[in-house]
Amino acid sequence: MRHLKVLGAFTFLAFGAAAVWASVTFAPPDAKEVRLGTVVLTAEKAAGKASGTATLVCTADLGKGTLTIIASGLDPKKVYTVWLVKMAKPKAKPAKMEGKMKMEGMAGMEMMGVGKAPYRLPVSDKGYANLAAPVKNCREVVMQRLEIVEHPTKKATDMKNMVPVFTADLMKMMQGQKMPGMKM
């Protein structure tokens, strides 16, 4: 009889621990967050055999969020930076935007760095990159294009010598999604 009580208590504890583990491991994302989606990064000629994805997770009101970039096959000896690019009317000089440098690119493009200046994409010795950068305004981010560029001079601040490696249309994340206040 005593063995049955011990076995019963053990079974209860084992199933209870398994239930807690499963609820933590397989729990749905925070109800206040929305995973807008993942896009495959389009490899440009300079990418070689590299590949990657970008994922955007935001608050339900499309305010703050996190943009995650995962890539493989990159050259660890090269310097890469990450940018959000949108078409705009050309301006006379660069301006500050949310504490990040906003550069005027060619043909009236505005470029805003992703992450912390100088917006470098960290690449491991084996060519893997993983960047999770905070986003202050998801509504603005999904209306832009993501670009990852290489700096042949190995200086992340060299804005005159950039070679496109990856691009991604972040608007594709919104396809088929109904978000509050977003007009498509």
What single letter denotes the amino acid at residue 61? Answer: D
Contacts 24+ apart (CB under 8 A), 85-93: 85/109, 85/110, 85/111, 85/112, 85/144, 85/145, 85/146, 85/147, 86/110, 86/143, 86/144, 86/145
The answer to whether residue 99 scores a pLDDT higher than 80 is no
Structure tokens at 139: 């509504």
pLDDT in tens, 24-49: 333 344 558 888 889 999 999 999 99
Contact, 170 vs 177, CB < 8 A? no
Q: How confident is the model at residue 171 (pLDDT cuts 50, 70, 90)?
A: confident
Query: What percent of the chain clears pLDDT 90, i.e. is strictly above it?
Result: 46
- pLDDT number for residue 21: 35
* Cis bond upstream, residue 118 (ω within 30): yes
pLDDT digit string, tens, across residues 129-163 = 999 999 888 888 887 899 999 999 999 999 999 99
72 close to 128: Cβ distance less than 8 angstroms: yes
Instruction: Identify the pLDDT of residue 108.
Output: 66
Q: Please state the rounded mean pLDDT for residues 81-89.
A: 81
From CA 85, how far away is CA 5, in angstroms rounded? 66
